[in-house]
Structure 1
C-alpha cells in the first residue's frame, strides 16, 4: 500500500504519543519567572529554583515556553 501511495512505511505506521502533563518543575519555573515580572533570565530562575531545593539545568529552563 505504501508503495502505491509513494509514502514511507514510517508515515503509515506512525502513532502520535500523548504529551506529558506539565510537571511541578515546569510550574515552578513559570511561577518564578512571572513573580519577577518577566525580568529574570534563565540564570536568575535557576538561582530561584536552587533556593527552593530544585536543581535544573539552564537549558531546560530555556526550553520552557514563557
Structure 2
C-alpha cells in the first residue's frame, strides 16, 4: 500500500465521535504496487500498479441485508 483515502466514515471514529479502539488503520481506498502473486493469480504480476476500494462497514451491512439497495 502506497497511499490511502480517508473519508468522513473514517474521521468519525478517528476523532472519537463514534467510540473506537486505538490503534486503528483507516481508509478504504488505496493504491499500491504488487509485490507477489499466488500461483492461481493470472491477471496481475509483481510491479503492477493497482488501486483498491473496500466498502465501508455500513455498506457491507447493507450488502448482507439488502443487496438490491447497494447494487442497483
Q: Same fold (TM over 0.5)?
A: no
The answer to which structure has the higher helix fraction is: 1
The TM-score bracket by the shorter chain reads under 0.3
The answer to which structure has the higher strand fraction is: 2
TM-score by length of 1: 0.24
